[in-house]
Every structure is written in C-alpha cells, then in structure tokens.
Structure 1
Amino acid sequence: MSHQPSPDSATFPVDRPTSLAAKWWLDDACIVDIDHFVKTLSGVKAKGVRPDLIGSIITHYACKWIPELAGESPPPVATDHQSPKQSATTSWLKKRFFIETIVSVLPPEKEAVPCTFVLRLLKTAHMVGVDSNYREELEKRVAWRLDQATLKELMIPSFSHVRGTLLDVELMLRLVKRFVEMDLEGLRSGAGMFKVAMLVDAYLAEVAVDLELALPEFMELAGAVPAQARASDDGLYRAIDTYLKTHVNMTKQERMMLCKLIDSQKLSTEASIHASQNERLPVRSVIQVLFSEQAKLQSHIDMSRSFNTSKSLILGMDPHDWCHHSSRDIMTLQQMEIKKLKENMTRLERQCHLMQMQIGKLSEKKKRFFSWKKLAMSTSLRGMSMEERGEDQSFDSCSIGKQTPLKGKPGRCKTPKTWRQSKS
C-alpha cells in the first residue's frame, strides 16, 4: 500500500501549468480519503498558492471520484478486490457528503473555479439534496459568471416531486435575477447582459415545449431580462411561437398578453415576414408587425432620398473643391454607392410587396367577416317581414304581390272581379 504524505510534507509544483500541475500532484500524493484531502489542501493554501491552482486541484479531485462532474458517464463497477456493493441510500449519502465537503473548500474567489464545473456541482447538489446553505453558495457562484455558462449545462432537471415541469425553471429564474441585480449594482460588466439575454431566449425555446409550464412562469422568466439587453427579439419571438404552438388551449387574452413581450421594431425582416403569416398570433400583433415594417421601409426610403440629394449637391460642387481626389476613385465610389442603392431599393420593393399582400389578405378577411354579418342580419329581418305579411294578408288585399295597379292610375289596386259583381 502506498504511503499517504502528510499535509506538511505535501509539495505543490507552482511553476507548472494549472491542469497538469493538479493532475501530477494528486496522482503523486495518492490522496484517496476526503478528510486527508481537506487537510492536505489546507496545507497547500497556507503556503500561498494561487487561487486558480487551488481551483484546479479541487476540480481534478472531484472529477476523479465523481465522473458526472467531468461530463462523463460513471465507470463500470469492478468485481475484484472490492467490498460488497453499497446500497443506494449509502451511495447517495456519501455523494451528498462529498459535494458538501467540496463546496466548503472552494476558494472565496469566484473566478477560481470554471462555471461549467460549478453548474455540474449544482446539478448534483440538487439531485442528492445537499443542505440549502451549500446550494445557496453554488447558486451565487453560478450567477456571478452566468454569462460564461452554456445552454446544455443550464438545462438542470427538476428533482422536486411537487413541480411537474421537466426542467428547474425556478432555479433558472433565481440565477437570472441575481445576475441582473449584480449588473445593476455595477458588480458585473454590462457586456455580459447581452449574452445572458441570448441564453434566456434559448432556454425559453427549449422549455416552451413542456405542457406543464404555466404561462406566468414563462412570462416571468422572459421579463427577468431588461428590454434594452435584447438587441434583437428574434429569439424571444421563436420561444413565444413555440409556446403558442404547444399550448393550443390558450385564450385570446392570454395570447395577447404573451405577445406584448415582443417588440415588433426589434424583429428582423425574416422574423417579421414569418410573424405576418403566423396564424397563432393575435390580429393586433400581426398589424403591429406590419406597421413596424412599413415604418422601417419608409425610413429607408427617406434615407435613400437624402443620400440622392447629398450626392447631387456633391456633383454640383466646383471641381476645384475636391481636386485632391482622383477622378477614378470618385467614379468607383459613385458606382459602388449606386449599386448598393439599387440592391437596397430592390429589397425594399420586395418587402413592400409582401406587406401589401399581407395587408390585402387582412382587409379581405375583414370585409368577408362584415359581409357575412350583414347578410345574416338582412336574412333575419326578411324573415320577420314575411311573418308580418302573412298575418295581414287577410285584411289588406293590396298587399298581395300578384296584383298589379291599373293603367294610368298608379297606386290603386285592381278590384277583384267577384267583388265588383256582388256590389252591382
């Protein structure tokens, strides 16, 4: 059996690279027991080793004994020279104690451990049910570096028996809110907020297919990110469209409330065209998208007109004012600008044609709706008049449709022949 060195005799190669140094040192020390590892790590910290090296030691040690933390499947169980198999409860308790011990020895510097490793620690901590204080510490560390996280690692399953969703949406909401608070307090750089907004939109698109996800939870997570953090609402529109496609029993008010989260002015041309043809969106949202695209088109046309005006002014200037430019360069620039303007005008005309078609379809649907409504009202009134005529038919002979007025005397009814004879 190899001899385990004491904490005082453990020496760490400070000059070596981080990952190689941690691997070489742990393999050389042959640290197996978690208590002995904690004592040895305390001795290394006392010697003033950098926090990132301490983090590499902890990461390598934890991944060595829990392969899930390294993103690998657990190794097959060996059969030789091994004690009898442990029960599931014993293994679960040992893993929980191991996670709590690892969290307790993490360096206070939040950048010392990779965000991916902390997310895997957090996932395992939720799975084995560690104490809430340790989970709180892990959530703080993840929220601090949420902009460096990946979507795959953020998709942590919900291990609660109370909730019915597949993913832990409440955990994601807590992480986003903490990151936003730190960003507003100036603890984080503002550039990371754009990455977090993209992560949230991608996460919403994944969780939107869950039928158990309630609308308030979806809207709360979508609104947790400030509106100015989204440079484009294409990702949010995709997530909302997926939610509408999955939850088909939503009411009109719920769909309108959900679509208010989308800023139609932040949609790209492709997303606007898709939204204008999307039957799942409310009519008001479609009209807003069409008006926004029309406003963008008008602004592009105004810009092109102003450019043409400025170009004509430049061409009308005295050649001596810009004689320092060669004629070949000026002609090349003009040709490039003319080509670019032609391409923009072609694209804008195509977009305008598509929007006109969509507006025509909407107006046609509206006309068809009102025409059917008018027809139904006229039919009901016509039925009432026929009943009234049937009631008065025996009293007024002039109401009979087959009788014709006399020639030259409009307004008078021809008297029946039998009635005329009886009078004489």
Structure 2
Amino acid sequence: MNHQPLLDSSATSLSAKSWLDDACIVDIDCFVKTLSGIKANGVRPDLIGSIITHYASKWIPELSGESPPPVATEPQSPSESATASWLKKRFFIETIVAVLPPEKDAVHCSFLLRLLKIANMVGVDASYRQEVEERVAGRLDQATLKEVMIPCFSHVSGTLFDVELMLRLVKRFVELDTEGLRSGAGIFKVAKLVDAYLAEVAVDLEVALPEFMELAEAVPTDARATDDGLYRAIDTYLKTHVNVTKRERKTLCKLIDSQKLSTEASIHAAQNERLPVRSVIQVLFSEQTKLNSHTDWSRSFSNAKSPKFCMDPYDRCHSSRDIATLQQMEIKRLKENVTKLERQCHMMQSQIDKLSEKKRGFFSWRKLHMSSPLKSMSVEVVDERRLDSSSLGKQTPLMGKQRRTTTPKNRRSSTS
C-alpha cells in the first residue's frame, strides 16, 4: 500500500483521517508501522497526535468524549468473552501510549485524561499509566472539572472518585510550576479546579479528612485569589460528615484565610453553625478590619482631593452621605452577627453549667434544696431586708424635710 500522497499533501490532517476512515485498519501492528513511516518523513508532532487521537477514538469510542454511534463500535464475535475483550482493550491502550510523540503538547489534555481513565479501568501496566499521568500533569491547567472526575477503580479505596490520582497530578503540576517549566498563570486555574473538585468529592462519606486536607494543601496559599471556593468545599464536607470532632473542625477551618473571603461568603460564615466559634470570630474581625481600612481610605481620598476636582459641593456631600450610609449598614450587620454569636456563646455556657450541676451528685442537690432550716433562714433574711428597706424608705423624706427646714433657720440666724 502506497502512503506517499498522504505525506506530500498540504492538507495532511484531513487526508490522514479520510484514509483511516476508508481503509479501516484493523491490524494495530500495521498502524504502528505506518505511523513510524509518517514520523520518519518529518510530519509535525501535532499532526501525528491528531492521527493517533482519531484512530484510538475509532476503536475505543469512550476516547472520543462523545456518545458513540452504534455503527462506530467494534464488532464483537459471539465467541469472544468479556475477559478477552478486556485484555484486547488493555493491549490497545498500552500500544497507543507507546506511540505517542515525545512532545508534551502533541496531544490534547482532554484526550489524555480520557486515555488515563480507560487505562485505570482496564488496569494497564504502571509504567504506561505513569507516562500518561506525567503528560496530564504538565497540562492540568487546561483540564475541566468534568474531565478530572475520574472514578476510582481500586479495590483498596472505597471512594467514588480517584482522589489519590488527583493529588498526584496536582503535586506534579506544582513541582513543574516551581521549577519554572510552567507559566505562573496556570497555577491560579489549577487552584480553582482543585476547589471545585473538593466541593464535588466532599459529599462522599468515604473521603477521609487527612486525604481531603492534603489535596486542599497541595495548592500554594498564594495561588488562591479568593477562598470562597475552598470555604464552600469545607462547608460541604462538614455538612456531610457530621461525625467530625470539634478538634478536627478547628484543624480543617484553619485552611480558610478569612481575609480572602468575599462579603457574601463572610456573611454566610458568620451565621454558619457548623464552623467553630474561633473561626466565626476571625471572620467578623476580618470584616471589621476591611471596613476600617475602607473608611480610612475614603477619608484620605476625600482629604487629598484638589479643589478643582470638587467644583460642586452638593455632589461632594452627596457622595460622603452615601459612604456614611454604607458604613452604617455594614456596622449594623456586624453588630447583629456579634449579637447572634454572643447568644450562641450564652447558650453553650448554660449547657455547660447544666452538665456541671449534674456531675455534683443527686444527694448534694437534694440536701441543698430540701433542707428546711435553709428555707427559713433565707425567708427571714429576705424579710429583714424588706423591713430595713421599708424603714429606710420612710425615714428618708423626713430627714430631707428636716434638712430643708434647718437650712433656712441657720440662714435667718446668721442674717439677724
């Protein structure tokens, strides 16, 4: 078979795909030999990657990323067992990984993630899986949330999604970013991706707290411009895992930087009963600090204005009035949050007092409340206090009258 027109044509990609569609290569050895000849003629790596993607998607429809049509599926003989089909698919995946171009950007990240998913499902050799993971980790900033939600096919871990795989990918990406092999903008996309991934896996009861925290800490803290996504993931985890202890809640909430929360997230956190009291206080303190800094900035900006920029005094007063109104609204909202927090603290203190009273014992409580001499003594003391207060209350006006009458007499005597 002569494949020279495929190599000399300018529209090589389209010709290669039509050739694959028309020829319908069923022997993978023939495909490998043909691909080696294409590489030897100096074809671009991205074109080779497109040929491999098209060929692999034809024989494994799951790699196309779309719902496969019924005609595109490989015909399976009735005598072929499920185990034979499984082994055939594993051999095909290992062959595809072996012929990938050495250039990391020759194949799209979405295809690599689908390839990694099928490789984990059929249980390919560890060296091939590591090769695919290295390629995916180098381009993790191009992945979407749907693509990284790879199910867990391990019998050891009972989680729904492969959190350990995601952890390895993120750590490898961070290492490449630290070594200067990745652009600095990619780490921010990966941070958003990790927070969204954590929010999805937080509903799984089998996800352990150390595993959840390790994935959250895999991204550097300065890579998150805002901690709203991380707060949502942690709140979802606490809502699902109700058996988390108080100490574990404190440790988990330490990952949240209250300074990076938006106003909406701060209001939600201040009213969130699942968060520890210390975390709520930190959120309120951060909001108060932001409000004070905003007030100082507005004052300094208004004082630094030149007279030529403030021609209309009515507009200047109107803007300052609006700023004051906004500040009063923020202060009122913070006061309400603090009041709710104090009410919760009082309720907790009352519960603690009730528990401490129960620990004192039943007999001491009975002796304290059922002793009749104490009752009589308490009644007598109260009666004496009432009598003293009543007698004092009656004598006070008389003393005032005497003082009022004696004072003019002294004045008259002195004048006379």
Q: Please state if 1:16 is matched with 2:11.
A: yes
Distance 1:85 1:13 in 2: 43
Structure 1 position 288, deviation (Å): 0.5
**1:161–1:342: structure 2 CA closer, same or farther, 3 Å change rule?**
farther
Distance 1:105 1:186 in 2: 28
**8 Å Cα contact 1:23/1:57 also seen in 2:** yes
**8 Å Cα contact 2:6/2:16 also seen in 1:** no
Distance 1:371 1:62 in 2: 67
- Aligned equivalent of 2:402: none
Distance 1:281 1:369 in 2: 14
Query: In the alignment, which of 60, 67, 73 is matched to residue 61 of structure 2?
Result: 67
> Amino acid of the residue matched to residue 204 of structure 1?
L
Q: Please state if 1:357 is matched with 2:351.
A: no
> Amino acid of the residue matched to residue 222 of structure 2?
Q
Distance 1:243 1:376 in 2: 30
How many residues are treated as equivalent by the alignment? 378
Structure 1 position 26, deviation (Å): 2.1
Distance 1:290 1:339 in 2: 29
- Aligned equivalent of 1:153: 147
Structure 1 position 27, deviation (Å): 2.8
- Aligned equivalent of 2:134: 140
- Aligned equivalent of 1:416: none
Structure 1 position 22, deviation (Å): 3.5
User: Please, which runs of 5 or more residues in structure 2 have no aligned partner?
Assistant: 385-416
Instruction: Provide Cα deviations, 1:309-336, integer angstroms capped at 9, x if missing partner.
Output: 112xx11xxx7xxxxxxxxx8759x988
User: Please, which runs of 5 or more residues in structure 1 have no aligned partner?
Assistant: 320-328, 406-424
**1:400–1:213: structure 2 CA closer, same or farther, 3 Å change rule?**
closer
**1:247–1:335: structure 2 CA closer, same or farther, 3 Å change rule?**
farther
Distance 1:369 1:110 in 2: 58
Distance 1:276 1:43 in 2: 65
**8 Å Cα contact 2:7/2:41 also seen in 1:** no
> Amino acid of the residue matched to residue 307 of structure 1?
F
Structure 1 position 25, deviation (Å): 3.5
Distance 1:119 1:375 in 2: 57
Distance 2:289 2:22 in 1: 69
Distance 1:336 1:100 in 2: 72
Distance 1:78 1:295 in 2: 62
Instruction: Provide Cα deviations, 1:142-184, integer angstroms capped at 9, x if missing partner.
Output: 0000000011010000001111100000000000000000000
TM, length-normalised to structure 1: 0.80
**1:253–1:228: structure 2 CA closer, same or farther, 3 Å change rule?**
same
Instruction: Provide Cα deviations, 1:29-49, integer angstroms capped at 9, x if missing partner.
Output: 443311100000000000000
**Aligned ranges 1:85-234 → 2 under 5 Å:** 85-234=79-228
**1:351–1:85: structure 2 CA closer, same or farther, 3 Å change rule?**
farther
**8 Å Cα contact 2:145/2:197 also seen in 1:** yes
> Amino acid of the residue matched to residue 53 of structure 2?
T
> Amino acid of the residue matched to residue 301 of structure 1?
T
- Aligned equivalent of 1:418: none
Distance 1:284 1:338 in 2: 40
Instruction: Provide Cα deviations, 1:323-379, integer angstroms capped at 9, x if missing partner.
Output: xxxxxx8759x9888776655544433222111101012223334555677799899
**1:337–1:243: structure 2 CA closer, same or farther, 3 Å change rule?**
farther
Higher helix share: 2
**1:340–1:12: structure 2 CA closer, same or farther, 3 Å change rule?**
farther
The farther-off stretch of 372-381 and 338-347 is 372-381
- Aligned equivalent of 1:413: none
**1:64–1:370: structure 2 CA closer, same or farther, 3 Å change rule?**
closer
**8 Å Cα contact 1:12/1:25 also seen in 2:** no
Distance 2:315 2:31 in 1: 68
- Aligned equivalent of 1:323: none
- What is the percent sequence identity of the aligned residues? 66
> Amino acid of the residue matched to residue 291 of structure 1?
F
> Amino acid of the residue matched to residue 205 of structure 2?
L
SS at match of 2:7: coil
Distance 1:340 1:26 in 2: 69
**1:231–1:386: structure 2 CA closer, same or farther, 3 Å change rule?**
closer
Structure 1 position 401, deviation (Å): 5.1
The Cα RMSD (Å) is 3.3
- Aligned equivalent of 1:250: 244
- Aligned equivalent of 2:327: 348
TM, length-normalised to structure 2: 0.82
